[in-house]
Amino acid sequence: MIELDRVSHRLGERPVLRDITLTLVERRVGIIGANGSGKSTLARTLNGLVSPDEGEVRAGGLDPRRQQREVRRAVGFMFTDASAQILMPTVAEDVALSLRDLPISAQEKETRLHETLDFFGLADHADQPAQLLSSGQKQLLAFAGVLVRRPEMLVCDEPSTLLDLANVLRLQRTLAELPQQVVLLTHHLELLDDFDRVVVLDEGRVVADDAPAPAVAEYRRLMGVRA
Ligand SMILES: Nc1ncnc2c1ncn2[C@@H]1O[C@H](COP(=O)(O)OP(=O)(O)OP(=O)(O)O)[C@@H](O)[C@H]1O
């Protein structure tokens, strides 16, 4: 569960989040809005990268400001800039790093590592330099590094930006099958078709909060796009 209670935030003079109150309990929650509407800033409040000027945030009952380590253990975060999430020289080492501090056996780690590399189509690249992957493959690697830990919930900020059609479909299938709660910030509206709830942000405010079809219709209306 994710809770925001009267969250407001400014960057310099500019209000970026304005009095946002949301309790997200649904399994699949989408957050959409124009460029600059505050989506990424909202996601960053969930892992403590942004401390809101006002209001309270809870992710899985944890306060990201005071319990940053616990939050990052419980919540898998994926950001648009996958390169920044790659920390090790090779693809396999990078995924293995995500497993390092988990309280599971070495054998279980090995099994999970190989299953995950296979699942994301990265097994053939296991020993290659991670930074030499294509941009889309780096996004898959970042996703692999997050999912291999089997977090309690996932917050994904535009994970599909650089993916080709096959990998967007793979992502869509993966999101549909995951047992965890997923909060997805995206401009790929078709990814949200089967979601339980979609929140629309506009200039830092929640302007719609509904099932996917009416929420997307409101977003199109805001953007001046006919259905
Ligand atoms: N570090 C920063 N310093 C100053 N302004 C910032 C910073 N980060 C974000 N902003 C501003 O905050 C506003 C909201 O940005 P944010 O990245 O949250 O929007 P977004 O909805 O995720 O946009 P996009 O769809 O383009 O990713 C923008 O006007 C942006 O310029």
* Inter-residue contact 58 to 43 (CB < 8 Å): no
**What value does the mean pLDDT take over residues 92-117?**
92
How do residues 154-196 score in pLDDT, each as one tens digit? Answer: 999 988 888 888 888 888 888 888 889 999 999 999 999 999 9
Residue 85's pLDDT is 79
Pocket test for ligand 1, best of 32, 35, 155 (most atoms within 8 A of CB): 35
3-state SS class at 61: coil
Closest atom of ligand 1 to 37 CA is 21
Q: How far is the CA of 40 from the centre of ligand 1 (A)?
A: 7
Residue 227's pLDDT is 60
pLDDT of 20 strictly over 90: yes
pLDDT of 101 strictly over 70: yes
Residue 83's pLDDT is 77
How do residues 106-151 score in pLDDT, each as one tens digit? Answer: 999 999 999 999 988 899 999 999 988 888 888 889 989 999 999 9
Q: How far is the CA of 93 from the centre of ligand 1 (A)?
A: 32
CATH topology of domain 2-83+152-222: Rossmann fold (3.40.50)
**At 206, phi and psi to the nearest 5?**
-80, 120
Question: In 3D, which of 149, 134, 146 has the Cα closest to residue 171?
Answer: 146
* Inter-residue contact 199 to 193 (CB < 8 Å): no
**What value does the mean pLDDT take over residues 2-13?**
94
Q: How far is the CA of 96 from the centre of ligand 1 (A)?
A: 32
Q: How far is the CA of 128 from the centre of ligand 1 (A)?
A: 34
Pocket test for ligand 1, best of 8, 10, 11, 187 (most atoms within 8 A of CB): 11
How do residues 45-70 score in pLDDT, each as one tens digit? Answer: 998 889 999 999 999 999 999 998 88
- The answer to whether the Cα torsion of 138, 142, 143, 149 is positive or negative is positive
How is the chain split into domains, by residue range? Answer: 2-83+152-222
Higher pLDDT, 186 or 85: 186
Query: What ranges in 100-206 are assigned the alpha helix state H?
Result: 106-119, 135-147, 165-177
Distance CA 83, CA 38 (A): 22
**Radius of gyration for the alpha carbons in the chain, expressed in angstroms and rounded:** 18
Distance CA 82, CA 39 (A): 17
Residue 163's pLDDT is 82
19-23, 37-41, 74-78, 207-211: which has the minimum mean pLDDT? 74-78
Closest atom of ligand 1 to 42 CA is 18
